[in-house]
């Protein structure tokens, strides 16, 4: 059976007795009338189906172009039960890291015939759960979800409903591992930070870590990796040198200001994301300290701004292009009914720039 694609707006206007000429939306009936063929013929031509002569196809397409016809994608998606749209849930698009992820997902999805609906949770788990339901109600074909404002239970509930959800870059708490995920070896990233700073002779190393209002460490794997590497090098992390932030520039500045006013301040600061690291640079500058001559600073994420700070920021690189490709491959394979194993964790890479140097005491 062949179903004709009709224009919903046109049908609504006809049903309310509004004159057809009040709308500029051409329908397949308008094309059929202009081309002197049936609406079924137009439908076959536009859908690429049926045994229609080349001359008729060309004539229909010519009139469709002249009349400015646009297919009703909403009606088509209702018929086919697919929208060729994916949802992307992120915490804050104002954060350059997530803005970069969003841009890469949108560009990559578009190249593969999909549109992207991007939404922000603003670190609010109640809102995050509502946004997942909203995307499902809008009939997206699948969702890529990043941490921050999404609870484990909300994700599990959405997966149980049958909608494909790929968790990306989650640092799960123990017992909350998601089955479909694409991630980074965050713990190894934290180890690389410690090894880099120890190799430069630093022993008074501070950590500014993202901690939520409920006391949960959001970046716990990168923090744990750094902490364990320091302990293994007989240089355990001093609890007094750990300060809390919230992944923002302001929190990084405030935390660094506190750390640098200690009686025995650190010679190096590891901020668990780049924005907090840049905030720490600002705090050092306001205190008249030179980076890296007086203080080394290292971040995590390698956001687009990192090479352009003064001095350029040493950081842990997250390969966004590779990450997004893996996430899309996994999501689209599930949408198409295929079964793929989640890929192994991506390996982090330390990008050494000018914000870290040999510890002053080691010179």
**CATH number of the CATH domain containing 25:** 1.10.260.40
Which one of 157, 182, 207 terminates a domain? 182
288 pLDDT more than 50? yes
Q: Chain-wide mean pLDDT for the chain? A: 86
Q: Is residue 91 a part of any domain in this protein?
A: yes
Give residue for tokens 């893996």: 326
- Taking the C-alpha atoms of residue 226 and residue 268, their distance in angstroms, rounded to an integer, is 13
Dist CA 106 CA 125 (whole Å): 24
- Buried b / exposed e along 237-269 (16+ C-beta atoms within 10 A): bbeebbbbbbbbbebbbbbbbebbeeeebbbbb
The structure tokens listed for 303 are 């956001």
Domain stops at, among 125, 151, 182: 182
pLDDT value of position 45:
77
- Give the model's confidence band at 76: pLDDT under 50 very low, under 70 low, under 90 confident, else very high: low
Query: Who wins on pLDDT, 64 or 138?
Result: 138
Assess whether 197 and 300 both reside in one domain: yes
Q: Residue 240: inside a domain, yes or no?
A: yes
CA angle 266, 272, 275 (to 5 degrees): 100
pLDDT for 293 beyond 50 = yes
Which range, of 26-40, 181-195, 248-262, 290-304, averages the lowest pLDDT? Answer: 26-40
Q: Choose the weakest-confidence range: 161-165, 224-228, 339-343.
A: 339-343
Q: How does residue 65 score in pLDDT terms, banded at 50, 70 and 90?
A: confident
Distance CA 84, CA 2 (A): 21
CA atoms 203, 204, 208, 211: torsion sign: positive
**pLDDT tens string 186-214:** 999 999 999 999 999 999 999 999 988 77
Would you state the pLDDT for residue 27?
Answer: 80
Q: Is residue 124 part of a domain?
A: yes
> 258 lies in a domain?
yes
Indicate if 175 and 210 belong to the same structural domain: no
Look-up of token digits 């923002």: 248
pLDDT number for residue 20: 33
Regarding whether 99 and 74 lie in a shared domain, the answer is no
At which of 182, 203, 238 does a domain end? 182
Whether residue 238 has pLDDT greater than 60: yes
Q: Is the domain of 19 the same as that of 143?
A: no
Q: Are residues 107 and 160 in the same domain?
A: yes
Q: Is residue 330 part of a domain?
A: no
Q: Is residue 239 scored above 70 in pLDDT? A: yes
The Cα 108–Cα 120 span in angstroms is 19
Secondary structure of 274-322 in the HEC alphabet?
A: HHHHHHHHHHHHHCCCCCCCCCEEECCECCCCHHHCCCCCEEEECCHHH
Q: Which pLDDT score is estimated for 6?
A: 39
CA trace torsion 236, 238, 239, 243 (10° rounding): -110
| pLDDT of 152 above 70 | yes
Is the pLDDT confidence value at 99 over 50? yes
Residue 242 has pLDDT above 90, yes or no: yes
* pLDDT band of 28, cuts 50, 70, 90: confident
Q: Is 207 domain-assigned?
A: yes
* Closest listed residue to residue 351, CA positions, set 287, 310, 307, 320: 307
Give the confidence band of 178 by pLDDT, cuts at 50, 70, 90.
low
Instruction: Please return the burial class of 195, using the count of CB atoms within 10 Å of its CB with bins 0-12, 13-18 and 19+.
Output: middle
Looking at the fold, whether 62 and 155 belong to one and the same domain comes out as no
Residues 301 and 224 in one domain: yes
Identify the pLDDT of residue 358. 97
Same domain, 263 and 358: yes
Residue 332 maps to a domain = no
SS (H, E, C) 213-254: CCCCECCHHHHHHHHHHHHHCCCCCCHHHEEEECCCHHHHHH
Same domain, 41 and 89: no
Question: Which pLDDT score is estimated for 311?
Answer: 97
Q: For residue 358, what are the domain limits?
A: 186-318+350-362
Regarding whether 154 and 267 lie in a shared domain, the answer is: no
Segment 259-275, tens digit of pLDDT: 999 999 999 999 999 99
22: pLDDT confidence band, cut at 50, 70 and 90?
very low
**Enclosing H/E stretch for 155:** helix 152-160
Q: Is the dihedral of CA 86, 89, 92, 98 positive or negative?
A: negative
User: What is the domain-level CATH number for residue 97?
Assistant: 3.40.50.2300
Query: Mean pLDDT lowest for which of 153-162, 165-174, 241-250, 306-315?
Result: 165-174
Identify whether residues 178 and 191 lie together within a single domain: no
Residue 20 lies in a domain: yes
Q: Are strands 296-298 and 181-182 parallel, antiparallel or unpaired?
A: unpaired
Grade residue 172 by pLDDT with cuts at 50, 70 and 90. low
- Judge if the upstream peptide bond of residue 74 is cis by omega within 30 degrees of 0: no
Q: How many CB atoms lie within 10 A of CB 58?
A: 11
Task: Look at the chain and report how many structural domains it folds into.
Answer: 3
* Residues 355, 363: Cα–Cα separation, whole Å: 17
Mean pLDDT of 229-238: 97
Same domain for 158 and 106: yes
């Amino acid at each position: 059976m062949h179903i004709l694609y009709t224009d919903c707006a046109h049908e609504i206007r006809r049903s309310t007795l509004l004159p057809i000429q009040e709308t500029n939306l051409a329908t397949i009936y308008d094309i059929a009338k202009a081309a002197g063929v049936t609406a079924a013929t137009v439908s076959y031509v536009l859908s690429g189906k049926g045994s229609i002569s080349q001359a008729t196809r060309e004539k229909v397409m010519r009139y469709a172009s002249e009349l400015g016809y646009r297919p009703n994608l909403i009606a088509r998606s209702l018929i086919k039960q697919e929208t060729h749209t994916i949802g992307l849930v992120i915490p804050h698009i104002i954060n350059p890291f997530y803005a970069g992820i969003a841009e890469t997902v949108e560009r990559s999805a578009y190249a593969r015939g999909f549109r992207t609906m991007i939404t922000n949770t603003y670190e609010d788990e109640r809102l995050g759960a509502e946004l997942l339901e909203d995307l499902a109600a809008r009939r997206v074909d699948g969702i890529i979800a990043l941490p921050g404002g999404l609870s484990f239970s909300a994700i599990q509930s959405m997966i149980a409903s049958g909608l494909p959800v790929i968790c990306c870059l989650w640092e799960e708490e123990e017992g909350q591992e998601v089955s479909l995920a694409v991630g980074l070896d965050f713990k190894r990233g934290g180890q690389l930070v410690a090894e880099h700073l120890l190799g430069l002779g630093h022993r008074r190393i501070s950590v500014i870590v993202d901690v939520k209002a409920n006391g949960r460490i959001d970046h716990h794997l990168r923090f744990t990796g750094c902490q364990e590497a320091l302990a293994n090098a007989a240089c355990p992390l001093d609890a007094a040198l750990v300060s809390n932030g919230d992944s923002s520039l302001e929190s990084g500045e405030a935390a660094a200001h506190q750390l640098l006013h200690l009686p025995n301040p650190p010679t190096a600061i590891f901020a668990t994301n780049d924005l907090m690291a840049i905030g720490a640079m600002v705090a050092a500058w306001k205190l008249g300290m030179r980076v890296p001559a007086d203080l080394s600073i290292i971040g995590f994420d390698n956001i687009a701004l990192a090479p352009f700070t003064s001095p350029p920021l040493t950081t842990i690189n997250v390969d966004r292009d590779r990450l997004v490709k893996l996430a899309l491959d996994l999501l689209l394979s599930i949408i198409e009914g295929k079964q793929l194993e989640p890929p192994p964790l991506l390996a982090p890479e330390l990008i050494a720039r000018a914000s870290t140097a040999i510890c002053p005491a080691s010179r």
